[in-house]
Structure 1
Amino acid sequence: MSDSRRPPIFPLTILTGFLGAGKTTLLNQLLRAPELSDSLVLINEFGEVGLDHLFVEKVDGNVVVMASGCLCCTIRGDLVSTLEDLLRKRDNNRIAPFNRVIIETTGLADPAPVLHTIMYHPYFMLRFRLDGVITLVDALNGAATLDRHPEAVKQAAVADRLVISKSDLLPADDVGLAALHSRLKALNPTAIQLDAARGEATPAALFNIGLYDPDKKTPDVRRWLNAEALDDHAHAHHHHHDHSGHDHAHAHDVNRHDARIRAFALRHPTPVPPAMVDMFLELLRTAHGAHLLRVKGIVALDDDPARPLVIHGVQHIFHPPARLDSWPDDDHTTRIVFILHDMEPSFIQGMWNAFVGVAADTPDAAALTQNPLKVSSGGGLLA
């Protein structure tokens, strides 16, 4: 099929945040922006989200056209059937064309199942590319919500952008707000934090943040991974610990849900065999998927070092890895960012080291594939 006949691929954004975090307010602001006039917005129920004053025309079933030109649709029942129906209508010109999709989850939802739907459904993999996860956190109640609700912690942990709402209701020097920023930074160092009250939560800051830069039509791995933020956070944490004798920021974290979250970047300087990477990811996915909140990375492979592999996973679901045509920048090292739940980074690093050790002792990829159990000698990582 020629490129002109291929169905279009749409960037998809997930908007999440706990009850009362301000998703409705942010949606109202964003959907007035001309940059989003070609968007399709999926929400749970119109009655739950106060966007009614923006509706101008009912098109078909649950679909309405908004004053900005956006399409808005309720998710009634199954997300898969809703998306399939909207794609059919879009392809058959039964609704106005849209070029972006925004899914707003319920405040109580773990966003992982929505991510799984997009990343694992065979047809959706062809039609959507995950642009990013935006999570709202209430400046007034955010700390208490994180303490009480593990779902809120997961929402923050998987985010690409963290939007702080309602900060204008607190004094500028409020220590609680500063503590919330620090806590979120510890929970998810790679997510960029934006303050909605300061006007930072703009379409430019929240969209087109995925692997591919739509303006350049090329991958922007450094921006997507933001692995440097993990290095900066680790340095700042170590510096604070050395000079204070103990870490005040985490002194009371013992009973917090986010004390069970770990973020780190695995790095490797030289290309590795594709079979080794396949086995490493398969073992992670099948045996430890529940602990992998988010995995993003670029991997140097020794069969063709000029063409790196991009990986992206959420729990036990991994998007099919993709080979890039070339390295997007001068850094040709393997970099994989992990957000882990109830798992120490040292376990992942040890598993990787064990596989690399097997690969170094194995003459070819076929032998590596035939002898996977040798990895168990690298530290007892296999049950």
Structure 2
Amino acid sequence: MLIPVTLLTGFLGSGKSTLLSEILRDQEFANAAVIVNEFGEIGLDDFLVTHSKEQTVAMTTGCLCCTIRGDITQTLLDLFEKRETGQISPFNRVIIETTGLADPAPVIHTLVTEPRIAKRYMLGGVVCTIDTVNGLATLAKHEECQKQIAVADRLVYMKTDIEVDEAALHDLYNEIKHLNPLAIKQDRHGVDFSLSNLFDTTLYDPKNDHYDIARWLNDNVLHTHHDSHHHNNSGIETFSLIFDDPLPSRAFLLAMQLLISNQGKDLLRIKGIVNLQEQSDRPIILHGVQHVFHEPLELEYWPSEDHRTRLVFITRNIPKQTIELFFKTWLSYDAEQVLEMSR
């Protein structure tokens, strides 16, 4: 079984360190490995058994903490090798804390495209912390912050226990809703806050031994928003396309290839389940970031009675209407036309 990797991102001062420290105190995550850039930056001194120059350090809670030494690929491979050879305790998940200025896309690319990584790890999800005190000003000034929020699966509002201007907070919530209406949002100080819910973002649910498409796509929100789309001044839009009937395989796959090759840099994230005419009993799972896509996953059966194709897009400067027209055009061609155009 592949080891899920969760990216913990968020802009400078947004509360990543606080949230990560809380995660490490929870016994549920005792078998986690945490990768950070520098111990000093993240403020994990309370957890270290000893101050060590070693790259991997055991922690008082049972977790492992690993510094990034050069390339993230080598760090992940070294960690896995130590796990397999018994040099460190087995871990069942990895949490990568990115720097506040980091674009999460390169790390996602590594997990998807590097063959040695893809054989051992899988992208579990992206969690982003948001500073409710300074978040509105940060969003206005920093494109990195907008992108971190746009590609996240879970958004955590931090510092909500501090009194802030209600009007500014309302504007912040609206801005984030437009940037990413599909992400599940949690208030760190809300009564229903749960650390577990930050990590239930994987396609495969090991607790119930099945693929949870509804949770992965966040169907409750998807159904609410599929007839509308959301955008703001950053040019980032989140929307979904739903096709009731099975799609012609060749036309759909060629359309996806052309879309990725021509518009890849502005396709911040795409994920979905696809019903193809030639194999309508075995759905295809798609998941990609910009130019890079996971190898399509073919399921042995539909996990629910809903057999529609459902695609979620997060784009930059590509309106929903453009994507809709693109697919409508390609899916209208017959097989011979598609074959001729693909030559």
Using structure 2 for the length normalisation, give the TM-score.
0.95
Which of 230, 237, 240 aligns to 1:265? It is 240
- The 1-side partners of 2:305 and 2:135 are apart by 39
| Pairs within 5 Å for 1:49-88 | 49-57=42-50, 61-88=54-81
SS at match of 1:297: strand
The Cα shift of 1:101 comes to: 0.3
SS at match of 2:39: coil
Contact preservation (8 Å) 1:266, 1:337: yes
Which of 11, 22, 38 aligns to 1:18? It is 11
- Structure 1 alignment gaps of length 5 or more: 1-7, 239-248, 374-383
- The 2-side partners of 1:338 and 1:200 are apart by 29
- The 1-side partners of 2:66 and 2:81 are apart by 14
Contact preservation (8 Å) 1:271, 1:300: yes
| Pairs within 5 Å for 1:153-172 | 153-170=146-163
Paired residue type of 1:41: V
Is 2:310 the counterpart of 1:335?
Answer: yes
Paired residue type of 1:324: L
Could you tell which deviates more after superposition, 199-208 or 306-315? 199-208
| Pairs within 5 Å for 1:309-328 | 309-328=284-303
Q: Which has the larger radius of gyration?
A: 1
Which of 362, 368, 375 aligns to 2:338? It is 368
Paired residue type of 1:33: D
Contact preservation (8 Å) 2:9, 2:127: yes
- The 2-side partners of 1:199 and 1:50 are apart by 26
Contact preservation (8 Å) 2:128, 2:154: yes
SS at match of 2:281: coil
The Cα shift of 1:309 comes to: 0.3
- The 2-side partners of 1:61 and 1:120 are apart by 28
The Cα shift of 1:59 comes to: 8.0
- The 1-side partners of 2:342 and 2:322 are apart by 18
Contact preservation (8 Å) 1:186, 1:233: no
The Cα shift of 1:199 comes to: 5.5
Identical pairs, percent: 44
Match of 1:211 in 2: 203
Paired residue type of 1:21: S
SS at match of 2:277: coil
Q: Deviations over 1:142-179 (max 9, x none)?
A: 111110000000000000000010011125x8222222
SS at match of 2:282: coil
The Cα shift of 1:215 comes to: 0.9
- The 1-side partners of 2:92 and 2:36 are apart by 17
Q: Give the CA RMSD over aligned residues.
A: 2.0
Is 2:224 the counterpart of 1:232?
Answer: yes
Match of 1:376 in 2: none
- The 2-side partners of 1:370 and 1:210 are apart by 39
- The 2-side partners of 1:200 and 1:107 are apart by 27
Match of 1:3 in 2: none
- Structure 2 alignment gaps of length 5 or more: none
- Taking a change above 3 Å as real, the CA distance of residues 355 and 72 of structure 1, as seen in their structure-2 partners, is same
Could you tell which deviates more after superposition, 11-20 or 345-354? 345-354
Paired residue type of 2:328: N
Is 2:181 the counterpart of 1:189?
Answer: yes
Contact preservation (8 Å) 1:158, 1:293: yes
SS at match of 2:264: helix
Is 2:111 the counterpart of 1:99?
Answer: no
- The 1-side partners of 2:222 and 2:321 are apart by 15
Paired residue type of 1:205: N
- The 1-side partners of 2:278 and 2:52 are apart by 52
- The 1-side partners of 2:166 and 2:30 are apart by 37
The Cα shift of 1:234 comes to: 6.7
The Cα shift of 1:310 comes to: 0.3
Match of 2:331 in 1: 356
- The 2-side partners of 1:22 and 1:199 are apart by 19
The Cα shift of 1:47 comes to: 1.2
- Taking a change above 3 Å as real, the CA distance of residues 232 and 338 of structure 1, as seen in their structure-2 partners, is same
Paired residue type of 2:340: Q
Which of 274, 277, 300 aligns to 2:275? It is 300
SS at match of 1:208: coil
Using structure 1 for the length normalisation, give the TM-score.
0.85
The Cα shift of 1:323 comes to: 0.6
**How many pairs align?**
343
The Cα shift of 1:371 comes to: 2.5
Match of 2:322 in 1: 347
Which of 287, 305, 310 aligns to 2:262? It is 287
| Pairs within 5 Å for 1:71-150 | 71-150=64-143
SS at match of 1:281: helix
Match of 2:37 in 1: 44
Q: Deviations over 1:178-203 (max 9, x none)?
A: 22222211111110110112265532
- The 1-side partners of 2:222 and 2:206 are apart by 25
